[in-house]
Amino acid sequence: MAERLKTLLLDANGSGIKTLGFTTLRGVLGLDENSTLPFGLHRNRTIHDRLLARQYNVYSFIGDWREAFVQSPRLAVTACDINDYFGYRRQLKRIRDYDLIVLLHSATGQHMDVLLATEAAYQNRNGRMVVFFSNEYEFMAKKAEFINSTGTEFVCTQLPLDLASWIYHYDSSQLVSTPHALNPRLYRDTGADRDVDIGFIGSLYHRQIGDKERTDLIMYFNDHGVAHGLACDIRLRNVPREAWAEFLNRCKGIVGAESGTYYLDSKGQTMDTVRRLLLRDPDMSFDEIWTPELTRDQEFRSGKAISSRHFEPIGTKTCQILVEGDYNGILKAGEHYIAVKKDLSNIDDAIERFKDESYRSRIAQQAYDFAIENHTYDHRVATLLDQVLDPN
């Protein structure tokens, strides 16, 4: 068996100055999420949660990607949180010891400030560097600065490659398509009683995203599900991934849509403008923000993409009712999900098809068979390593 690659895996358990302080203290004390706090600190619930909680546990893909890298038989992984001030800098001093450096979505997802402050250290590496991006519509200038200054070899995008090539203009980086995937160890059919017909747990898209269709579909079932004879459980909040997996196993169906914005520009300027508008007037409505004047002088493309939220129900064999879309060319309407038109004009037909138990079960099973064969996180990491080790 080939020697495993020494890999530095960088992520982040939250952002902000308080997170930096508590994460650094956690590192100094040598704690992890399963630790018992010393010095009687466990009696203070706030301190306990700050030191040990996984702040991003409501975003399952963050843990799913991390676990897939750690469990890869081809890698010998050292994981480090960039918010651990001393631990992170110790690893940067040793960066020449690593064959591979991987920065996950959580490390790059919040403003890039910590990474930009330490970018010079990455120039001393011997190994290749792989950087994952999420929210590929904001802080684009900062992302470009980091990638170009460090000479990052591989940039991993959730977007289709033709779209990513339009957005990213990096000097020496190769774009790699790495959409989210299925974690079958967590998201699996437990055989639980499915007492919910249509479910949803999560946040509605913020107005700055420039999308109302997902919200319209979710709220349709919230407001009209009972009239269709459906038992609906719609909760507008996020929950830890273990609770999400349990909820999916209670649901016959789940609703959703592609992630991302319709108003993607190559420099992220539109999102910056919208953010400033909302800072001045937090009560602006969607229509007040997304006026013709806002979008008139920019070249846009749709940044819609598949997300981890589409694979998680697949793992639990929960049928999905989704707004029609491309889903990175991975999921197909009528084969892997029941499609609803963007204006909801076929909602009655979609509900009738969903109520057909045989049809609903067939859709869920086809989606599961397809994903388990081709689209798990283990598949993604293995494919990425093939490209990194043999980029030609």
pLDDT tens profile 60-94: 999 999 999 999 999 999 999 999 999 999 999 99
Residue 27: band (very low, low, confident or very high) from pLDDT cuts 50, 70, 90: confident
Amino acid at 44: N
CB 165 within 8 A of CB 289: no
The 10 Å CB-count burial string (b at 16+, else e) for 352-368 is ebbeeeeebeebbebbb
Type and span of the H or E element at 155 = strand 154-157
Type and span of the H or E element at 114 = helix 113-117
Residue 1: band (very low, low, confident or very high) from pLDDT cuts 50, 70, 90: low
Angle formed at CA 13 by CA 89 and CA 112, multiple of 5 degrees: 65
Q: Do domains 5-181+376-389 and 196-264+301-374 have the same CATH topology?
A: yes
Please give the Cα distance from 259 to 305 (Å, whole number): 5
pTM score, whole prediction = 0.91
Q: Tell me if the domain spanning 196-264+301-374 has CATH number 1.20.140.10.
A: no
CB-based contacts of 242: which residues, under 8 Å, 6+ apart? 186
Strand partners, 132: 156
In this prediction, residue 207 carries a pLDDT of 72
Please give the Cα distance from 44 to 6 (Å, whole number): 38
pLDDT in tens, 341-351: 999 999 999 99
Instruction: From 382, 392, 337, select the one nearest 363 (Cα to Cα).
Output: 337
Please give the Cα distance from 130 to 69 (Å, whole number): 12
Please give the Cα distance from 380 to 363 (Å, whole number): 23
Q: Mean pLDDT, the chain, as a whole number?
A: 90
Poorest-pLDDT segment among 80-94, 264-278, 353-367? 264-278
pLDDT in tens, 130-146: 999 988 887 888 898 99
Please give the Cα distance from 320 to 367 (Å, whole number): 9
Poorest-pLDDT segment among 157-166, 232-241, 311-320, 362-371? 157-166
CB-based contacts of 10: which residues, under 8 Å, 6+ apart? 79, 80, 81, 82, 88, 91, 101, 102, 103, 104, 107
What's 305's DSSP letter? B
Structure tokens at 341: 């038109």
CB 256 within 8 A of CB 219: no
CATH number of 5-181+376-389: 3.40.50
Domain coordinates of the chain in residue numbers? 5-181+376-389, 196-264+301-374
Structure tokens at 130: 């792989």
Question: Mutual orientation of helices 347-355 and 357-374 as an angle, nearest 10°?
Answer: 90
The 10 Å Cβ neighbour count of residue 251 is: 24
In the chain, what's the furthest Cα-to-Cα distance? 63
